[in-house]
Amino acid sequence: MSHSPNALIHSKSPYLLQHAYNPVQWFPWGPEALERSQSDNKPILVSIGYSACHWCHVMERESFEDEETAALMNEGFVCIKIDREERPDLDNIYMDAVQAMGLQGGWPLNVFLMPNQKPFYGGTYFPNKNWKGLLKNIKEAFAKHHDQLAESAEGFGRSLSINEKEKYGLSDGELDVSKDEMSKIITQLENKFDPEWGGMNRVPKFPMPSIWHLVMDYALAKDDQGLLEKVFFTLKKIGMGGIYDQLRGGFSRYSVDGEWFAPHFEKMLYDNGQLMALYAKAYQVSNDPFYEEKLTETLQWLEAEMLQEEGGFYAAQDADSEGVEGKFYTWIHAELKSILGNDQDWFFELYNIKETGNWEDGVNILFQTQDLNVVAKNHGLNETQLKNQLKTVKSKLLDIRNKRIFPGLDDKVISGWNGLMLSGLSQAYLATQNPLALNMARNNATFLKEKMLLQGILYRSYKEGQTYTPAFLEDYAAVIQGWISYYQVSLEEKWLLEAKKLMEKAIEDFWDDQDGLFYYNNPKAEKLIANKKEIFDNVIPASNSMMARNLHQLGIYFYEDSYMEKARSMVASLQPLLVKEPGFLTHWANAYLEHLLPAAEVGIVGKGALEKAKSMTMKYTPNSLVAASESSDSQLPLLQGKTADSDGNALIYVCFNRTCMRPVSEVDAAFSQFPKLS
């Protein structure tokens, strides 16, 4: 039976549009739904998900498309659907509420609110029978025990409005960094590494890029080869796993097991941006072609499947196609056998292909557990021969796979996630000099500036030529970071000037002087039941830890003391928590490391300055910022007062806290002035 559309039909979000023909009378979040709840005196049901979420689709099929269930929902509730990617601020508030109720969080997130938006009950996925029972119980409780629900909602409302400083015991002290404390932070993390499969010792397994960025930076600063090898081991295992798309490139969100084998097949832009930066650094440090291959393939995936015509990147690819999770990516034995002919023996060994399937329902995930040279030897080939044959086979299989029905694409553009990808592309170019990375980075930096910034205000979402939803702190933080990263590649000062302008706007709209941290949402923009601050680093680093690092870096480029002071005090407030519980504060720990190891402020001025800067940035050294200008008319304070040699040729100034070492003309001599953590 077809339905006339509900109020979601006017949305741009692919996730909301997926629900526009449900028999449930969904509303988007906004005044109309909130006022209706008051006037009809009905509780609000808020259901939050995102387009690449598998269990969201399951609950839609079982409950939201079911007439009987929809009738219960429409009769008893004002039903609001939210795309968490468009409104992460609301998702944060109601996820906190569900966890405060002692319930497990996740998506779909279903929360029941009083008409004043305060929550009193919630949960995640409910099978249809349980869901219908819950709807009946809550409708009855709202009618008969209204006062008790209201009291309970008041309690949760109060717990949501406790500020983070009080809630987590954040410090008011000064930042006091020490090598011993940094070493303890790393040891605590190291104790939780998985020695057999890499990553952290847990199931399911998320790549968690900010952990490996930190450990790599620390290992390089300490010259600790053993620790560096542990990072490389993890990156190898992820790159060989089913979590990495072996044919096309790109990484899925996580693996459901502890071996990186069976992914949850959705591919998110934010994971891929961060992992690209991480693999690029690994390649710069090790020169191992394995990392270059992952970068090249992922760049090709981005260009082919995620790039929109104006230079922005789409948000995500779904896990499901034709209603089946992973169907697009998996292979049955007979199909591979008919395609591969003489190549089947080594291919089957390389990717653990089984006649009965290596995963569920008789299908195979391409999953590599042995190095290429071992498989080559077993089949009388050398590694180069196998690599060449593998390239041919991959390309043949990809052509066949591309004829399948593609997974759904979430085709909105999210500014913050594009900022993370811009950082990844910039690092990938420094690592590989691949012109595709440079081209996509340049176009993306420009797209963010021209399409997602209107009259100095950054927007979160863009689709069909329109920006909508003013940005959150995560977006400001990641776009600022992206422009700082792209400056290291382009050496065009306008990107740093843009980053500084955006920082000024973020301070004006999001900074809370009382707590010395940024709000996640702009408290002046829309009245919500709580204004939250994001402080824990998760699959995306906390917007506050990203801002602390942005402030530190812009503070160096612009000699801006107020930025440096904010950055220090932000890290200081997290310091006690960081030492106790570093696992979800690794980006903060990287900020701590930036204050412990004095930043190398590198200014290069004169003829040949850009070439010298390029030679320096092509090598990855943590905690160093390079600025360069062929002429002496730079607007950057970091470059002012620095001159070329008597013939006008470039000199390199390595400075710490605005005090410079002797200028040198050779890149190696400049590197020898960089500090180490002895």
Q: What is the pLDDT of residues 211-226, one digit of tens each?
A: 999 999 999 999 999 9
Residue 351 sits in the same domain as residue 436:
no
Mean confidence (pLDDT) of the chain: 96
Residue 291 near residue 282 (C-beta atoms within 8 A): yes
Is pLDDT at 431 greater than 90 in this prediction?
yes
Residue 409 near residue 271 (C-beta atoms within 8 A): no
- Among left, alpha and beta (phi > 0; psi -120 to 50; other), residue 516 is left
Is pLDDT at 525 greater than 70 in this prediction?
yes
Q: What is the pLDDT of residues 113-162, one digit of tens each?
A: 999 999 999 999 999 999 999 999 999 999 999 999 999 999 988 888 88
Residue 459 sits in the same domain as residue 484:
yes
Residue 64 near residue 71 (C-beta atoms within 8 A): no
Residue 236 sits in the same domain as residue 371:
no
Number of domains in the chain: 4
Q: What is the pLDDT of residues 322-360, one digit of tens each?
A: 989 899 999 999 999 999 999 999 999 999 999 999 999
Per the structure, the complete domain to which residue 505 belongs is given by 179-327+410-596
d(CA 373, CA 146): 69
Residue 22 sits in the same domain as residue 141:
yes
* Residues shown for the chain: 678
Judged by DSSP in three states, 28 sits in strand
- Cβ-in-10-Å burial (0-12, 13-18, 19+) of 661 comes to middle
Residue 22 sits in the same domain as residue 55:
yes
d(CA 585, CA 567): 15
Residue 320 sits in the same domain as residue 295:
yes
Single-letter amino acid, residue 481: Q
Domain-embedded: residue 224: yes
The continuous run of DSSP H or E covering 451 comes out as: helix 435-451
Residue 515 sits in the same domain as residue 488:
yes
Nearest one of 92, 166, 214 to 517, comparing CA atoms = 166
CATH code of residue 486: 1.50.10.20
Domain-embedded: residue 630: yes
Is pLDDT at 678 greater than 80 in this prediction?
no
Domain-embedded: residue 85: yes
C-alpha distances out from residue 137 to 60, 129, 604, 636, Å: 21, 13, 70, 64
Residue 439 sits in the same domain as residue 554:
yes
Domain-embedded: residue 167: no
Residue 625 sits in the same domain as residue 566:
no
* pLDDT reported for residue 103: 86
Q: Which residue has the higher pLDDT, 101 or 295?
A: 295
Domain-embedded: residue 547: yes
Domain boundary among 403, 431, 447: 403
Which residue matches tokens 């694409």? 409
Residue 263's pLDDT band, with cuts at 50, 70 and 90, is very high
Residue 321 sits in the same domain as residue 242:
yes
Residue 321 sits in the same domain as residue 253:
yes
* pLDDT reported for residue 84: 95
Sign of CA dihedral 252, 328, 20, 466: positive
Residue 419 near residue 471 (C-beta atoms within 8 A): no
Residue 422 sits in the same domain as residue 532:
yes
Residue 419 near residue 473 (C-beta atoms within 8 A): no
Domain-embedded: residue 168: no
Q: Report DSSP state, residue 155.
A: H
